[in-house]
Chain A
Amino acid sequence: MKSSVTDLIDNTVDDPTQPQELILGGQDFTSITETVSDIVLERKTPRAWYIAFTFTAGLTGVLFLMIAWLFIKGVGVWGLNNPVGWGWAIVNFVFWVGIGHAGTLISAILFLLRQKWRTSINRFAEAMTIFAVICAGIFPGIHVGRVWVVYWLFPIPNYHHMWPNFRSPLLWDVFAVGTYATVSLLFWYMGMVPDLATLRDRAKGRIQQVVYGALALGWRGSHRHWHRYEKAYLLLAGLATPLVLSVHSVVSFDFATAQLPGWHTTIFPPYFVAGAVFSGFAMVGTLLIPARQWFGLKHIITVHHLENMNKIILATGSMVGFAYATEFFIAWYGGNPNESFAFVNRAFGPYAWAYWIMVTCNVVTPQLFWFKKVRTNIGIMWVMYIFVNIGMWFERFVITVSSLSRDFLPSSWAYYDPTMVDILTFLGSFGLFFTLVLLFIRFLPMVAMAEVKTVMPIADAHSGERRSVGDYHGDIPRHVREVPDGGGK
């Protein structure tokens, strides 16, 4: 019913004289509250949710089985060889950390840039960020070999009187990813508190009231609280912005500080960050399209929002292409035969298949987003998101494996093949990721209600009109209520 209203209005039309309609279908504060909180409180959990959850929980089980097997047998169960000591575990780590960049970009950077459209998707993207970082954190943890001494990564006093080596980029990673996970979690939770209070106040069941009530910390919408809350939000956004640059930069340092051809290049930090945002937006889109469809959120997460995301994908995808080009040029310009070999080897060596998958998915695919038809077609864009996800996984694979498998000493070159354990562990990590996403969708507010309300035209207290909007007990069907004016003016 709501979708019928939505379909009539095309908010992707670009008119510089008009502010864009962000929320469609004549919504008011009441209807936004109802739409979002009903998903959690009122609506019956769809059967598809149970089916999906069973499947992803099963996959998660596979992940833990594989990890258990690894602990019992050691890293020999993976396809690692000499010289390829970093295989899928590191590829998967970088892949998942990269995906975890979209949430903070949307919640922090787009906030500082006053991009109001972010409010419809930031909660979802932030949640996805945290789940992706959880998946990422598993891989270096299980890669250390002797997992029972994994606490050596942290500066904890121990009976050996040893301290970690702070000159190692791998240790920087511990701090960067740890900080990122913590700050993202704080940011996400803080943003959610007002919405949890909404759920508390609408909940009918005692358990829901108690749980949401405890999580809402007694939030009562006091403006004296909002005042400090907004300041804290701004400060956290200001902190998270350089943080998001730093995380994937530090991940890139893992590679770029080494002397290995194909790894050691100065553009790695910003190039990794651009790639991370690229892959993160693709993953947000992959999840958002079905979610908005199934949960009736098409009027809140509109085609305009998706189109903006596609533009960011195009921009960051082009930056990645720019970095590929620069790397190739300098590999030639620098005149180091090992370096130029590494790049020729990528494109034409034994991993050429992976390389061309990467180029096709990462450089060619996003260029289709130049066309508005493509940017606004739900089906096509979803397929393209999948391509980008694949491409970005292969990018990390190409960087990690192709450089290691053929380095300075031809006598020790070797081809790397993953084992079944590698493959199942990776698939299992998707199980964990989607399980967490499904739990989030079912139990927490998927859209930042309080923030969406701030960008609605009726939220402007200075519009000069004394409007009375919404009617909680109104008998007029929600979708035919008068569209509040002001959106067009």
Chain B
Amino acid sequence: MAHHHVPRLEDTKTTLDGLGPRLFAVSALIGVIGLAATFGLGLSQGDGLRHFGFSYLINFAFFLSISLGAMFFMPIMYVTRASWNVVMRRLAEVTAAVMPLLAVLAIPVIIFAGQIYGWADPAVAGSHAMSHKAAYLSKNMFILRWVIYFCIWTGYSWFFWKTSVKQDSSGDVGLTRRLENYSGFALMICALSVAAASFDLLMSINPLWFSTMFGVYYWAGGFVTFWAVMTLFTMGLQNTGRMRGIVTPEHFHDYGKAMFAFTFFWGYIAFSQYMLYWYANIPEETHWFLIRSQNGWGMTGMVIIFATFMLPFAGLISRYAKRSRKMLAFWAFWIIVAQWINLYWVVMPQFSDSFVFSPMDVTAFFGIGGLWLAGITKLAMGNSLVPTGDPRLEESLRFENA
């Protein structure tokens, strides 16, 4: 019977080899061209690169959220001693380990902070409402915090990635145990730093608005996107003849479940945040939603309710959809686009009260996305695409959904 057959790594290709340099070159080229085009378009706006800054920020925040999702994924799987995901874990490891590149890509956000962030405007910074936190929301403190965030994230994603790679050759079970021991603590540090970073990166664009849920909101969006990206990465590699037969519909079924579950979770968080401010109706809180509910942004918001929540929720509810390769790929792609629109809706209304869309938003997507993918490819090139030394790999290969 079918489930007696255990797939073997030897039956498929598990390295990027020839594909690596090509993928790296193409995506890096797209990235450089994309960023150059964005910069050019930004200059042509004649607004002191303000629009450029916002377009850049959306896409930076987007790709950062995916890598942060990957960063959460690894320790979660270690603390729960889960085995089914082992076969795809290397892809998550490199997606998280691209953090130093994201640190470099954060520099423009800092350079253009004056154009993006309300607190950088001296008129706002000097206002009474800001007086108590002017020091916290100052450029120097902002830079300092970003250095700290990236030190934490780089250190820890590299620790997970490097340890796992070391295990490829040694097969040392102790390494797994070591990662398990550090995972709980890693999760705590991550939760705190990601929440704080989301306040800095997105919430403080409007320095007068606040929401305790915001960190969870940003994280949830990134985490669901992470699963969609993993799905597409794996399928893409399979289309080139890699990882075939070892990542089966059983694994994809679980990717689908994760996308479904976190789509729901994201909807729950987004709804709670909105409803509580809608209900209490306090002006200092509702103004954030007010500008996002008119002049075209309201329509965008309606699109988001359907695109990020209702439709993928309905689309992924059935077992059939989660096990059909084409449908899963479709919804993974859909979720990525929808979560991007959501970030657009979070960021862009601070740039303009009425709806705007510019080619820069797209070129910046390809610019940052291209470099991000090139970075991930570079990291994936030297080693196996599968953590071959992991003691739970065998169990992962044999995995079957009950």
A residues neighboring B (CB under 8 Å): 14-17, 19, 112-115, 169, 242, 245, 249, 253, 256-259, 264-270, 311, 314-315, 318-319, 322-323, 325-327, 330, 332-336, 370, 462
Contact = CB atoms under 8 A, between A and B. Distances in A.
Interface stretch (B184-192, B233-241, B292-300): B184-192
B36 interface: no
A343 to B, nearest CB: 12
A335 B132 contact: yes
A114 B402 contact: yes
A288 to B, nearest CB: 21
Nearest to A327: B212
A325 B192 contact: yes
Given A242-B264, A264-B276, A266-B272, A322 B212 contact: no
A318 B402 CA distance: 32
22 contacts: A16-B81, A16-B173, A16-B180, A16-B391, A17-B391, A112-B257, A258-B280, A264-B276, A264-B282, A266-B272, A266-B277, A267-B212, A269-B213, A269-B269, A270-B213, A322-B191, A326-B212, A330-B210, A332-B133, A335-B129, A335-B130, A462-B3
Interface in B265-296: 268-269, 272-273, 275-277, 279-280, 282, 284
B282 A333 contact: no
B195 A257 contact: no
A333 B402 contact: no
Nearest to A20: B81
Contact of A14 (B4, B180, B210): B180
B176 interface: yes
Nearest to A334: B210
Given A15-B173, A16-B173, A330 B188 contact: no
B210 A333 contact: yes
Contacts, number: 102
Contacts of B277: 266
Nearest to B203: A333
B211 interface: yes
A249 B265 CA distance: 12
A311 B129 CA distance: 42
A256 B276 contact: yes
B173 A462 contact: no
Contacts of B211: 266-267, 330
Nearest to B215: A326
B276 A333 contact: no
Nearest to B281: A259
B139 interface: no
Contacts of A336: 284
A462 to B, nearest CB: 7
A16 B392 contact: yes
| Most A Cβ at <10 Å: residue of B192, B208, B216, B276 | B276
A327 B214 CA distance: 11
A17 B81 CA distance: 11
B79 interface: yes
A124 to B, nearest CB: 22
Contact of B272 (A15, A169, A249): A249
Contacts of B176: 16
Contacts of A253: 275-276, 279
A315 to B, nearest CB: 8
Given A242-B264, A249-B272, A267-B216, 20 more contacts: A15-B173, A16-B180, A17-B173, A245-B268, A257-B275, A264-B276, A264-B282, A266-B212, A269-B213, A269-B268, A270-B213, A318-B188, A319-B191, A322-B192, A325-B192, A326-B195, A327-B212, A330-B212, A370-B185, A462-B4
Contacts of B275: 253, 257
B138 to A, nearest CB: 14
A257 B177 contact: no
A15 B84 CA distance: 16
B199 interface: yes
Closest 3 CB pairs of A and B: A267-B212, A266-B213, A257-B279
Contacts of A17: 173, 391
B280 A370 contact: no
Query: Which residue, of A112, A114, A323, A332, has the highest number of chain B Cβ atoms within 10 A?
Result: A114
A310 B188 CA distance: 16
Tell me which of B3, B79, B177, B279 has the highest count of chain A C-beta atoms within 10 A of its own C-beta.
Answer: B279
B216 A259 contact: no
A323 B215 CA distance: 11
Interface in B347-370: none
B268 A249 contact: yes
B276 A266 contact: yes
Nearest to A15: B173
A16 B273 contact: no
B361 to A, nearest CB: 28
Contacts of B279: 169, 253, 257
Contact of A267 (B133, B208, B213): B213
Contact of B177 (A16, A249, A265, A332): A16
A333 B133 contact: yes
A413 B257 CA distance: 50
A128 B41 CA distance: 63
B280 A269 contact: no
Contacts of A242: 264, 268
Contacts of B84: 114
Contacts of A311: 79, 184
Contacts of A245: 268
A258 B276 CA distance: 9
Given A14-B180, A370-B184, A265 B268 contact: no
Contacts of B173: 15-17
Contacts of A319: 191
B203 to A, nearest CB: 9
Contacts of A113: 80
A259 B282 contact: yes
A17 B173 CA distance: 8
A323 B192 CA distance: 10
Contacts of B216: 267, 270
A335 B133 contact: yes
Contacts of A257: 275-276, 279-280
Contacts of A112: 257
Interface in B318-362: none
Nearest to B272: A269
A256 B282 CA distance: 12
A302 to B, nearest CB: 16
A14 B177 contact: yes
A314 B184 contact: yes
Interface string B193-231: 001000100000000101111111000000000000000
Contacts of B392: 16
Contacts of B268: 242, 245, 249, 269
A114 B391 CA distance: 19
Nearest to B278: A257
B212 A332 contact: no
Nearest to B130: A335
- Residue of B133, B199, B268, B272 contacting most chain A CB atoms (<10 Å): B272
A268 B214 CA distance: 12
A453 B269 CA distance: 38
Contacts of B284: 334, 336
A336 B277 CA distance: 15
Contacts of A270: 213, 216, 269, 272
A76 B342 CA distance: 51
Interface in B46-93: 79-81, 84
Nearest to B175: A16
Contacts of A325: 192
A17 to B, nearest CB: 4
Contacts of A114: 84, 402
Nearest to B212: A267
